Structure 1
Amino acid sequence: MGWLPIRPFCLFSLFLVFFPILELIPLAKSASDYTNLVYKGCAKQDLSDPTGVYSQAISALFGTLIAQSSKAKFFKTSSGSGQTNISGLFQCRGDLSNVDCYNCVSQLPILIDKLCGKPVAARIQLQGCYMLYEVEGFPQISGLEMLYKTCSGKNAGGAGFEERRDTALNSLENGMGSGNGFYTTNYESVYVLGQCEGDVGTSDCGKCVQNAVQRAQVECGSSISGQIYLDKCFISYSYYPNGAPKRSSSSSFSSPETSTGSGQTTGKTVAIIVGGAAGVGFLVICLLFARNLMKKHDNF
């Protein structure tokens, strides 16, 4: 039985080989990006709150919004009364599940406090959701005012790219007229998405999206991806010459230039395959080594 002392060593070595593989397998699933920060909007004026009444109202408001996010994609409410009244809302992207919506929204109060502190108004936009609040009397802005834009990847779409993009954006405008407030489509590898705030009527939604489309065409030019955020709506477009990555409720069309999910998944899959092959090979070596030892044992 001279081969028995070697067996634990082989099993332990195999454990060391396969343990990193078990760690890699969950990571091979593409990471959700709906909680990535897009932009923050913090009023310059801080709350004067010596008695803590505003803080209590804000906490109550956040609690209500988070609770509603598990069963709705949009909710608007207020907290406090009189001059201490604070209104607020959240909205999740239309293709997020209730679970993802809740997970997204529940992070927003923490980010508001971390990134803005306690101003009289604040808005935090993530890839999959946003939240805002404002104290009674805070100046209102136009629903068509641009809050944020991003454009990337110049002149990479080849000849006729802008025409293809414009056709996709026109399809988006038409689709938003359905009255659902959320729409996504594609045309010749150009993928577009749009959404209006939940309480915006169909007509105003169409005007907002039309305005955002025009801004995208002017502001982003020949960029292969762009996002335009207005106060009451937002749109995005991305060009994927090799086809867009598979989407789930917890993913979004991000810039092909900055997106690394596909490459990471491929790399981890290769690591799993190579690691698995190495583990199998090591197992074969252990068995052959044990077999040789058994033969030597029989010869004595």
Structure 2
Amino acid sequence: MGRRPPAKVSPSLLALLLFLAAGDLVSPAADYMTLVYKGCASQSFVDPTGVYSQALSALFGSLVSQSTKAKFYQTTSGTGQTSITGLFQCRGDLSASDCYSCVSGLPILSDKLCGRTIAARVQLYGCYMLYQVAGFADVSGMEMLYKTCGGSNIAGSGFEEKRDTAFSVLESGVVNGHGFYAGSYQSVYMLGQCEGDVGDSDCGECVKTAVQKSQVECGSAISGQVYLHKCFISYSYYPNGVPQRQTSSPYSSSPYTSSSSSGEGGGSGSSTGRTVAIILGGAAGVGFLVIFLLFAKGLTKKKDDFY
């Protein structure tokens, strides 16, 4: 009986396998790709001539290109009443490549989550992007956009005292760090950041307000996040000590999923995040189905050729 010849893999199938394998290495996205919340204006722009769409596309292109060399950038596209102002910001501890990876997906995500509304903000753990058309009402820098709180306090752990001291460290840290601070105090990990155009003094006041809102809104919860328009804070309590490789957000590492905890402003982000995750998961499933069918077809063909 002749020896079975080695199976041949078609170039197209090999390319598909390599593509999905590479995607599999990248797809367990770092936590910075996790969706926190979205904020969409209720009104969409009327655009019979396409002028708004052109301005928005140009704005997105400019923001994404700048994310390769800056962690904060603000610009305006278009002219007069049809102009659109927008900005992006990356978390202070992200590398240049991670910042770009985070920001580059935001235009598509914004369109999927909000459509062509006259203003939108999409917040991931690692970055956010927002835009608004000329004439859109400004939002107060201290307005709370979203909050989420974790589980209850561990009785007798001294958590609240440690948390409040950690908050004091955080408030001074963002001022000394010119808008960004990440660190731990005893068993509490905290992070805070202000929008890039906010001065040190105003940043300190914004974070202080976020801290106060966190104490009221989250009470004795051992973790929480509060996002104001111009700053945000997050904290987590670890009874056994902060993990050595702790990052800024000890939450789900799934790409483009949001926290399931309740929130303000962007509270609907939970179901939206699951929807986006389902879309991405479905696409991956289709890819693997294609591989299976092609592989099965290839085996059948080889069997017919051999016999």
SS at 1:141 equivalent? coil
> What does the per-residue CA deviation read over 1:203-251, in whole Å, with 9 as the maximum and x for residues that have no partner?
1111100000001111111111000000000000001223334448xx5
- Residue 239 of structure 1 is matched in structure 2 by 237
Aligned residue runs from structure 1 range 179-258, under 5 A: 180-247=178-245, 251-255=247-251
Range with greater deviation from structure 2 (213-222 or 237-246): 237-246
The alpha carbon displacement at 1:194 in A equals 0.3
SS at 2:205 equivalent? helix
Is the 1:157–1:239 contact (alpha carbons within 8 Å) kept by the matching residues of 2? no
One-letter amino acid matched to 2:94: L
Gaps of 5+ in 2: 4-20, 255-307
- Residue 296 of structure 1 is matched in structure 2 by none
- Residue 127 of structure 1 is matched in structure 2 by 125
Aligned residue runs from structure 1 range 285-296, under 5 A: none
Whole-angstrom distance in 1 between the partners of 2:245 and 2:47: 45
CA RMSD of aligned residues (A): 2.4
Whole-angstrom distance in 2 between the partners of 1:127 and 1:120: 24
One-letter amino acid matched to 1:194: G
One-letter amino acid matched to 1:77: T
Pick one of 53, 56, 80 that aligns with 1:55: 53
> What does the per-residue CA deviation read over 1:31-77, in whole Å, with 9 as the maximum and x for residues that have no partner?
51101000000000111001100000000000000000011000000
The alpha carbon displacement at 1:114 in A equals 0.1
One-letter amino acid matched to 1:32: A
Whole-angstrom distance in 2 between the partners of 1:105 and 1:208: 24
- Residue 82 of structure 2 is matched in structure 1 by 84
> What does the per-residue CA deviation read over 1:142-172, in whole Å, with 9 as the maximum and x for residues that have no partner?
1000000000111236431111101001100
> What does the per-residue CA deviation read over 1:112-165, in whole Å, with 9 as the maximum and x for residues that have no partner?
100000000000000000000000000001100000000011123643111110
One-letter amino acid matched to 2:139: I
SS at 1:192 equivalent? strand
Is the 1:168–1:185 contact (alpha carbons within 8 Å) kept by the matching residues of 2? no
Is the 1:157–1:224 contact (alpha carbons within 8 Å) kept by the matching residues of 2? no
Cα distance change, pair 246–72 in 1 and its aligned pair in 2 (3 A): farther
- Residue 93 of structure 2 is matched in structure 1 by 95
Pick one of 132, 137, 146 that aligns with 2:135: 137
Give aligned pairs, total. Answer: 234
Structure 1 runs of 4+ aligned residues shifted over 4 Å read: none
Is the 1:183–1:195 contact (alpha carbons within 8 Å) kept by the matching residues of 2? yes
- Residue 276 of structure 1 is matched in structure 2 by none
Does the alignment pair 1:41 with 2:61?
no
What is the TM-score of this pair, normalised by structure 1? Answer: 0.73
Is the 2:198–2:230 contact (alpha carbons within 8 Å) kept by the matching residues of 1? yes
Whole-angstrom distance in 1 between the partners of 2:82 and 2:117: 13
SS at 2:100 equivalent? helix
> What does the per-residue CA deviation read over 1:248-270, in whole Å, with 9 as the maximum and x for residues that have no partner?
8xx53325xx689xxxxxxxxxx
Is the 2:119–2:130 contact (alpha carbons within 8 Å) kept by the matching residues of 1? yes
Whole-angstrom distance in 2 between the partners of 1:158 and 1:39: 33
- Residue 178 of structure 1 is matched in structure 2 by 176
One-letter amino acid matched to 2:92: G
Gaps of 5+ in 1: 6-22, 261-300
Whole-angstrom distance in 2 between the partners of 1:74 and 1:175: 19
Whole-angstrom distance in 1 between the partners of 2:245 and 2:96: 16
- The structure number with the bigger radius of gyration is 1
Cα distance change, pair 158–111 in 1 and its aligned pair in 2 (3 A): farther
